[in-house]
Structure formats: C-alpha cells, structure tokens
Structure 1
C-alpha cells in the first residue's frame, strides 16, 4: 500500500504545478507566497549541489492556444502589491518579502484560472544549451518538492518521505522536461556514459538517477533531439 501511495505521490509531484487566479481577486485556492518561499529556502539549504547556480521559475501555458503575451504576475495581499517582472520566456525571480509573508499574500496572474503552470529552473553557468548538470536537477527537485509537498495527502506525503522523498529515494522516478522532443538522453561523467529513460508518450520528459550517489553533481545529461 505504501509503495502504491508513493507512486501516486511521485506522479502528482512530477506534473507541473499551477499558479492560478483571475484579475487580482483574492482567492483561497491561489498559490500562497509563503508556500513558494519554501522553495527559496530549499534552494539555499541544498546549494551544495550547485554552488554557482541561479534559481528562476518558469510559467508555461497549460493548453494549446494560450500565450505569454500580456501576462502579468503580482504578489498580492490585503496591503501588499508587488509586481514581479516576467521575462520574454515566462521566467521570473521570486523576491523575498517579509511584508508579503506577514500579509499572507498570494501569487496572482491576470489570466484565467488554471491557464498557466509553473516549474522551478536551476541553472549553473557554462552548461551547454543541449545539456543539464545533474546537481542542478537535484537542486531543482528539492525546490519543487519543498513547494509541492503540502498539496499531497498526508498519506502520500508520508509514504514518500518514509523512503527519503522524491529527490533522494531510489524508488522515486522524477521526470524533467527537455527543451525539445527527444530521440534519446544520456548521462555522462568522464568516460562513463549511460542511457536515460525517455517517456515515449511525452517525449520531452527524461528521468535522471537523482538518488544514485555513484553519479556526482558534475555529471551531465546530454540530449539527442528528435529531428
């Protein structure tokens, strides 16, 4: 039973998470700023995986036909309203604000509910565009888990944490999105090279061995894009 719950929790965790709202109206279902800050805390706590890395969050349309044009993001509370700059690719850096925490602020978009999804993006300098550093992915997983764990049922959360969590358990298979559809993905460190699982239905998704201590943080995932 616990194993089944763990698999369910991994499935929920691996999916991108929504930042939701309509036109500045406060709504208890919105992503709380205090919850997102837990991701910033995890980034600081786990920085040893990627000491030179930076953290952004990326917004992506949840359905075909949506675009990033005209999208705005605000940290909004009863007394706090902090605009968050969005890059052309939907990326943003989440600022820390004690005032927003005290005001129980939310992340508010100006678009229809559930029309956009978010994910963290951790990048170390010097990594090629067609590759990802394993330590960056481990740190990115820690950020995502710190934010998403509260959305799981206590049973699913307990099952995952009992096995070490989705970033540290060999039972957890956490997927990541490549920039383009993949033919294959490889994990390389020195002369060692190993093929990684690629989801054939969602062919941008690859699954690195986050919990395998036999691969250092400096190992690199290399993408072979589909033509």
Structure 2
C-alpha cells in the first residue's frame, strides 16, 4: 500500500525535540542514551508505525528507556503528535524516536547496547525475491545479534502466518532459540497484560489469530 506523504513532515521531524535522524544518531553511537534525561535499560521497537505500542510501554514502564524506530516521516510525524497529545496530562520522558532505516542499526547502537527488541506486525514482503527485506531475515538477525545484550530477547508479533512460518524456519537454522511460540497468542494465558499495536487491535477485531514468538541466543 502506498503511504500518503504529508506536506511539511520533513521539517516537522527535523524540528521535533523528541526525535533524531539517522545521521545524527550515527554520530552518537555509543552515547545514544544522551538523548534521554536519565540512563536506564534500553528497549527498541523497529517499525513502530504510529507508536501506540511503544508509547503505552513507556507509560507502563517508567524505569526503562524506549526508542521507537520508523523510517517513514509521515508516519513518524503522527506518532510524535500523538505522544504530545498524551503529554498534556503527563510527560513521557522515557520515550524518544529515531527516523532511520533498520539496516543502519549496527551503525547507530553500540555492541550489546539494547536490552530488548520488539518487532510488531512488520511488512511481510511476501514475494520470495524480497525475503531479505523481512525484519526476521538472516541479515537482520545478524544486526540484532550485534546490538542486543547477550541475555537480551526479541519479541515478534504478526497476524501473517506465512511470515511467521518463514521466521520459524530462519530461527531453526540460526544461533537463535525459541523461548516462546504461539500461533494463537490472544487465546493463551501469556497474553494477559499484552499491550497491542494499532494493527493488532484491527486484525484481532476482524477475527485474525495473532502469532507471537520470543527468541534469544
């Protein structure tokens, strides 16, 4: 689906105090937590969309720093605006945004700097020739292996059965191991307290089963 470009979104992102661009983030490698008021454990969401999940995670876990990563400026602009709307009641000082391509993450984050990675309803890239663009492809898992702490985990949710099965095959042939796997996450006790994304609410409301895995090395 073609994303609608919002006029002025580039300037909005450049001026937003809550957000840094890829080039600036690369300059901050090893010091990325300087963008927060206080250094805390760090968790990131790659491809956060409009930010509902990462925003609610930050509100629920004030002792953790969160970075929402999104490369599309029009989408990122909406995420920042929604954060600001919430902040009319309470400042969310443990959430920042990064406008960057996920392929650049090893140039932005230091080795073993990230405590947890969230992949939520990523683009499935269904054509075989685009498999290397999937956020659970071997190339991306190698990037995560670099930036994630040795005891860190990746949590992945999707309603796309094909992408989930592909990801399971990739994991099987890698150094990663499955800590948790479900083809119907919402029906299980582990879903208690689950924070949903916009897509998750939409797809679950349509009766789609949500798949989830948690992996580590």
Q: Which has the higher contact order (CA 8 A, sep 6+)?
A: 1
Bigger Cα Rg: 1
TM-score (norm 1): 0.29
Q: Which has the higher helix share?
A: 2
TM-score (norm 2): 0.30
